[in-house]
Amino acid sequence: MFNAFAIVAVVVNNTYCDGRNEVVIWCTVCVDSRLNVNVALNRPAYQVSMLGTHEARLANDGNHNTILGDGSCSHTREATNAWWAVDLLVALHVTGVKFTNRKAAGTFVVVITTGCSLEQV
């Protein structure tokens, strides 16, 4: 459980076995508050980079489709410590964060950080 923060950031903290840097691919991100509501839904989202048209906002737009080719998932380019973040716009007590990866994607190790601005996370 997190204290009240306005920014929730996710850093993927691993690299592939062949030495490539990691990417972030999220099809659904839900941030739950005390009200059991997805407070990240349609809030401003950011990521380290964008692959093709897979922008950050696609991870928290409410579309739960996990097929990357359908244009419903965010996707970054390869980067060291690739990240995705959502601005909740107000400080909230966060009780949980749930991620849905794209269909047929591997497992990621993630570190969730919070702060009052992107610079703090």
7-65 pLDDT, tens digit per residue, is: 666 665 444 445 555 666 666 676 777 777 888 899 999 998 999 999 999 989 989 88
74-114 pLDDT, tens digit per residue, is: 888 888 778 888 888 887 777 778 877 776 665 555 666 66
CATH number of 8's domain: 2.60.120
pTM for the full model? 0.76
pLDDT band at 4 (very low <50, low <70, confident <90, very high): very low
Domain count, the chain: 1
Is 91 inside a domain boundary? yes
Is 45 inside a domain boundary? yes
3 state SS for the chain:
CCCEEEEEEEEECCCCCCCCCECCEECEEEEEECCCCECCCCCCEEECCCCCCCCHHHHHCCCCCCCHHHCCCEECCCECCCEEEEEEEEEEEEEEEEEECCCCCCCCCEEEEEECCHHHC
- In the prediction, which pLDDT does 1 show? 43
Is 76 inside a domain boundary? yes
Which range marks the domain in which residue 112 is found? 4-116
Is 41 inside a domain boundary? yes
- In the prediction, which pLDDT does 98 show? 80
